[in-house]
A and B are shown apart, each in its own frame.
Chain A
Amino acid sequence: MSHNDLIPPAYRTLARFWLEEVSAKDIDTLTALPDLAQTLPALDGPHLTNLAVEYQRLFGFNLPPYESVFIDPSAMLMAPATDRVTQIYRRGEWQSPAGVRTGAPDHLGLELLALADWLDREQLAPAHQLHTRHLALWVVPFILTLQRLRPQPFYAALGELTLDLLLTTLPETSIPNPTDLFPELPPPPIYRGTDETILADEGVVEPERNGGSPFRRLTKRLLCPRETGLYLTRIDLAQLGRTLDLPATVGDRFQMLDTLFRQAMQYELLPELLDHLSHLLAEADLAYGQVSADYPGWQPYAQAWSYRLAATQHELAREFVV
């Protein structure tokens, strides 16, 4: 079997474990994959249940494994960025296996399956497009975020293998310029909470001297990976609160970060909060740098993400003179 023949089955195997929790049906498969199997104390019911709970903690509650969350200005599911992926599937005449249940077609597992099929069928045009313009762009920040969540060893290993395989096999001739990496996408629709004029009309927020609430605008920006350069999970936000000894925050990411800002203001800890945010951005920048050192082909992508991190640092500094 040639090196190239090994790649598609490997993608399919990885896709399987991204798509769903590990089940009893997988025991035979895992037994034959010692590097993954040895991350589990045992391949039995209780440990698999424990792993299923971890899957839900990671990908159900904290880190959606969907491209649009990282690439779309809305940072939401079923966004225009999703349509972009659907279009590639259509052009490449690819459909997902019947019965697979994901929240959207741009799930990491589905993208890996599509890539595997196209490589098998030697449809290199859609394969390279999906690889270089999609997977290589968003999966690295996704996996770096996963590592920040301290996953159980199985998912840490799965992330490491996926990143390694994707970046080792990156078709370097097809890599676009850093400035062309992020597609033009329509702006997010107007949601309640984004139009400060309306909010001010409602008496929800006090208009600031510049005509809007800096918390809301900044919060929105910080929660959008495309804008800010990294994905802030609910665990990150809870951790920030704990670090500053602020009351626990709950809710969705917007509520949590908005509350964090308000509380930090109330307890006069805004500089500290900004400092911690800045630290997170700096850590992400270092991580991108490390990936690009390990895989030189990824350098343009690292540039694109680092540029966003830097812009966010600048924004933080501009909004609040700490």
Chain B
Amino acid sequence: MKQKLVNFLNAVAKLNPAQQPTLATTTNTPITHYPLPITPPAENIDRITPSASTAMPEPLTTNGLTNYPPVEKWDDWVEYDSKAWPKKVARHYTLVPTVCFNCESGCGLLAYIDKETLEIQKFEGNPKHPGSRGRNCAKGPATKNQIYDPERILYPLKRVGKRGQGQWQRVTWEEVLDDIAARMRKAIQEDRHNEIMYHVGRPGEDGYVNRVIQSWGVDGHNSHTNICSASARAGYAFWSGFDRPSPDYANARVILLVSSHLETGHYFNPHAQRIIEGKSDGARLIVLDPRLSNTASHAHHWLPTWPGSEAAVLLAIANYLIQNGLYDKTFVRRWVNWADSLRALRPEWEVTFDNFDLLLKELYAQFTPEFAAQESGVEAERIIASAKAVANCQGRLATHVWRSAASGNLGGWQVARTLFFLNVLTGSVGTRGGTSGNSWNKFVPKPFDAPPPQKKWNELLLPKEWPLAHFELSFLLPHFLLEERGKLDVYFTRVYNPLWINPDGFMWMKALRDENLIGRHIALTPTWNESAWYADYVLPMGHSGERHDLMSQETHAGQWIAFRQPVRRVAMERMGQKVQFTYEANPGEVWEEVEFWLQLSWRIDPDGSLGIRSHFESPYRPGECITADEYFRWIFENSVPGLPEVAANEGLTPLEYMRKYGAFEVVKENYTPYEKPAPGLDKVHPGNGSLPPDYRVDAAGRVLKNDQAIGVMIDGEPRVGFSTPSRKLEFYQPTLAEWGWNELEYTVPHYLKSHVHPDHIDRSKGEMLLLPTFRLPTLIHTRSANAKWLYEISHRNPVWMHPEDARRIGVHSNDLIKVETEIGYFVAKVWVTEGIKPGVIAMSHHLGRWRLQENIGLNRGTSALVELDETPAGEFSLRQLHGATAFESDDPDTSRIWWEEVGVHQNITHAVHPDPISGMHCWHQKALQVSKAGPQDRNGDIRVDTNKSMAVYRQWLAMTKPAPGPNGLRRPLWLKRPLKPHISMFYLTEEKTEAPVEERARG
């Protein structure tokens, strides 16, 4: 032993308690004294207790080096000006938290605003945000690039000349508000409520605009959900009533993803963090993906399934658990509607759980690993290995499916249903490390006023053919309009670009430019987009950092809210400046929707005669229009448990607290809420006495209060249960049976053959499967198209193709190929890779933006100039004249655009595929022919025959089973709608103001 070591050992031995080494990032606990591990109880698992916390630890303090500026310095943070280097020029910033507006994750941002110039120097992560915990993807910091985009729309614009001609006149907000309000007032007065429609992309806020629309009394909320998540949502809703999963990845023992959550997907940044935490704590990661995504590359078990075969694989895993008795029988007996299932499916059998076990064995025996292997093209051994991993999850199985398989396939909702079946079988529902319902982990506070449900039903949103659709048939709007099912007088597209993002975009072009179908199209958008080109008003709305919104997302097992703020406005107010409207603080006259809708609604009903005005009167200043400050102040003071107290501890009002920190953790953990006592019955012991008055238990075991189901009896105890009609998890789904889908394939978790099943793709004829559903981590659909920084990272979307297929058609990487769809074709470059299955080609979202004029429309660095051609017979074509170009502007970066390619707009060549149950557009396309491009073909060429568009639409329409359903209903009462109309609107046969008791219990 060397002398130095001897000295060291002796010195360490003499350290007194105060001298024991400590870690700066822990709670000052000497590292000799941290608690030793506790041996997990026998029923628990043998893994390390997870260390994931929902709050970011305090910054590392090492004499000046910190991860984040400490909060106490946010009002005056000093940094050297990097551009002044080598001089040390100190700049003073005020730091204002806000929330990213690019994807739907709602991650926290911190804006650094120069106190001298009010310039936003940068956006970094907000360490106080419980979801993102100070970490962001590229899209967050790129907000600065979007705000200072030299080509952005700075003022309200009004169309001059014909729609789509590209001539615009600058107008004032006053003119805009007066014109639109008058038109809406007239429509409402003339009982043309259904001619008012608001069509939103991803909302990026929770409930604000919904309240506004409901106050107008219209059934006018249209969303993008049916091109996004409706099928997955439907699958979850049929099980449980909630329509999205919220996996507790960080504490999971097994993570099963039918998605690519490590790089994309809902809510990829906060989720990816927690998946890695779970994995680093020993969780096994199983990924089903036909593509070698970044997520698949991190998996312990990658199952490259043929698209559409996922349910077969998931059921093979379920079958393994069932046949081997490895499922959680206690959980299933308590929480699944097994008795009803048995009565429905085997009425002749005695109703015992053992018989239900027999039924499961019988129903799923066909789903052997070999069957799944045949359907999916994945070796049976890999499927068995995954099944063994799931069987070993011990109630900690975290699962997710988003877009991908559920949104790609006919019957894709069964992918979500079969996936959640694994959670049910393993008892991993709402448990630590399991999968919760989104509503358990998302907190949406109530505002000061709730308008009554509208007494209207808009058939353009939910027509009779799709009574079970999960949200509106939004992507079929042009088809409905062109079929003359209705028309629109005032149509708002809000941060939404239907022409570009939806399938069959030329049908949108036809509808948007026809003033007889759409009287006024008002595009509220932060950036130019292809649809706004066909608007009457283009109204510039703020990016993150330029607007107020309140957001929450189910990022983990807790609940939080985050406050998006117009950061320059907040900075100005901190410095004592008075700001009335946010557009006074934003660049040009860029506004925010919160104030826009208040002012518009106030003008629709200036005298209160329409019953609208009262919903916008300030709770603090009676008779006057509420302000944005007052709206959020009321919520923070009255609707967020714990916030007033926490704020008071710091000597702040709740609003001041939220302005300072930008986020609040409402609940740290929320596990198994369905096990809670039914409301009002927490002190009742039904076994010893009767229920209080107004309560009763019906024959199905549901606890009813005033004939509304509020819980369910479980082992003699009144529990909250789930929000299904039975208050249990519905294995057998009676609603589907009652509405005409009574075959076994629909009523229980089962395998439905997709429209792109190998039986329907004849590869010998050159047919292939086009998988168009994957995202890129650095872009986000239509919203990021004015971020040069992001486009510099990714600006191509080549077609992925397996080398076998490439050899067959004789192409190499970067060659052009022509992909023929049901309605047309596109030409794009190919990328030859073993990362995709043979027979499948794949192409990413987001890219292929275009503009029709050189100097106006989309940004020059991110879009192609195209030539649009159209024949009288309804055929359309686009040809790229040139791609991205550099240009001189105030931003020196725009002269440094070095790329030309901007990708290819594939969606416009896709036919619509509305699933007859969920209403979801089934994204996967059958490529009728994939071939090497000819000498006349150019990258980005598009051709579509809209006659074929209508033909394919009608083929899918023919698969539906229209309303009415039981009791003359047009839609089951219990299924969700973003804005549920009055109950009387649910009946087709005769007007009913009150539902029968049974229906009310179910609704």
Contacts and interface: CB of A to CB of B under 8 A. Distances in A.
Interface of A: 1, 5-7, 9-10, 12-13, 15-17, 19-26, 28-29, 31-36, 45-46, 48-49, 52-53, 56, 78, 82-83, 86-87, 89-90, 93-101, 104-105, 113, 117, 121, 157, 160-161, 164-165, 168, 189-191, 195, 197-198, 201-203
A104 B28 CA distance: 22
Interface string B774-808: 00000000000000000000000000000100100
B64 A35 contact: no
A49 B63 contact: yes
A24 B12 contact: no
A202 B4 contact: no
B13 A1 contact: yes
Given A28-B18, A99-B57, A168-B5, A202 B831 contact: yes
A152 to B, nearest CB: 15
Interface stretch (B46-54, B312-320, B385-393, B521-529): B46-54
B63 A16 contact: no
A20 B25 contact: yes
Interface residues of B, number: 61
A150 B998 CA distance: 79
Given A9-B12, A104-B280, A93 B22 contact: no
Interface of B: 1-2, 4-5, 7-16, 18-29, 31-32, 34, 36-37, 39, 46-49, 51, 53, 57, 60-65, 276, 279-282, 292, 297, 803, 806, 812-814, 831-834
A44 to B, nearest CB: 8
Contact of A16 (B5, B10, B13, B31): B31
A35 B11 contact: yes
A301 B48 CA distance: 30
A48 B25 contact: no
Contacts of A7: 9
Contacts of A28: 18-19
12 contacts: A6-B13, A9-B12, A9-B13, A13-B12, A20-B24, A90-B48, A95-B51, A97-B23, A98-B51, A100-B26, A161-B5, A198-B832
Nearest to B281: A86
A62 B728 CA distance: 55
B60 A99 contact: no
Contact of A195 (B22, B53, B834): B834
A49 B48 contact: no
Chain B CB within 10 Å — which of A10, A13, A17 has the most?
A: A13
**What 9 A-B pairs come out closest when comparing CB atoms?**
A16-B21, A202-B813, A97-B34, A99-B26, A52-B62, A48-B63, A21-B62, A6-B9, A95-B37
Given A86-B282, A168-B1, A32 B19 contact: yes
Q: Which of A16, A34, A46 has the most chain B CB within a 10 Å cutoff?
A: A16
Nearest to B28: A25
A98 B26 contact: yes
Contacts of A36: 8
Nearest to B803: A201
Contact of A35 (B1, B4, B814): B4
A58 to B, nearest CB: 14
Contacts of A161: 4-5, 8
A310 B10 CA distance: 41
Nearest to B61: A23
**Overall SS of chain A's interface:** helix
A25 B24 contact: yes
B209 to A, nearest CB: 39
A78 B65 contact: no
B832 A15 contact: no
Contacts of B27: 98-99
A164 B1 contact: yes
Q: Is the interface of B mostly helix, strand, loop or mixed?
A: loop
B60 A20 contact: yes
B834 A164 contact: no
A294 to B, nearest CB: 9
B51 to A, nearest CB: 6
Contact of B65 (A21, A165, A203): A21
Given A9-B32, A97-B34, A23 B62 contact: yes
A61 to B, nearest CB: 14
Given A6-B10, A52-B64, 6 more contacts: A12-B21, A22-B62, A49-B62, A89-B48, A201-B806, A201-B832
Contacts of A49: 62-65
Nearest to A97: B34
A15 B31 contact: yes
Contacts of B29: 97
A133 B61 CA distance: 35
Given A13-B21, A20-B25, A198-B833, A95 B8 contact: no
Contact of A12 (B32, B60, B831): B32
Contacts of A6: 9-10, 12-13
Given A95-B49, A96-B51, A33 B65 contact: no
Contact of B63 (A10, A24, A190): A24
Looking at B7, B11, B21, B57, the one whose CB has the most chain A CB atoms below 10 A away is: B21
Nearest to B39: A93
B4 A160 contact: yes
Given A9-B32, A164-B1, A23 B63 contact: yes
Contact of A97 (B19, B31, B62, B813): B31
B726 to A, nearest CB: 41
Contacts of B62: 20-24, 48-49, 52
A46 B47 CA distance: 42
A1 B2 CA distance: 19
Contacts of B281: 86
B19 to A, nearest CB: 5
B12 A10 contact: yes
Nearest to B302: A189
Given A33-B12, A86-B282, A16 B23 contact: yes
B7 A35 contact: yes
Contacts of B61: 23-24
Contacts of A35: 4, 7-8, 11
A21 B60 contact: yes
Contacts of A99: 23, 25-27, 51, 53, 57
Contacts of B1: 164, 168
A52 B65 contact: yes
Given A48-B62, A49-B63, A203-B814, A190 B834 contact: yes
Contacts of A56: 65
A198 B803 contact: yes
A32 B11 contact: yes
Contacts of A104: 280
B4 A164 contact: yes
Contacts of A198: 803, 832-834
A93 to B, nearest CB: 5
A314 B757 CA distance: 52
A201 B813 contact: yes
Contacts of B63: 23-24, 45-46, 48-49, 52
B279 A78 contact: yes
Contacts of B12: 6, 9-10, 13, 33
B831 A94 contact: no
B7 A105 contact: no
Contacts of B5: 161, 164-165, 168
B7 A10 contact: no
B21 A29 contact: yes
- Residue in B28, B48, B297, B812 with the greatest tally of chain A CB atoms within 10 Å: B48
B807 to A, nearest CB: 9
Contact of B812 (A48, A95, A100, A203): A203
Contacts of B806: 201
Contacts of A45: 63-64
A23 B13 CA distance: 21
A6 B480 CA distance: 81
Contacts of A165: 5, 8-9
Given A32-B11, A160-B4, A12 B25 contact: no
A48 B62 CA distance: 7
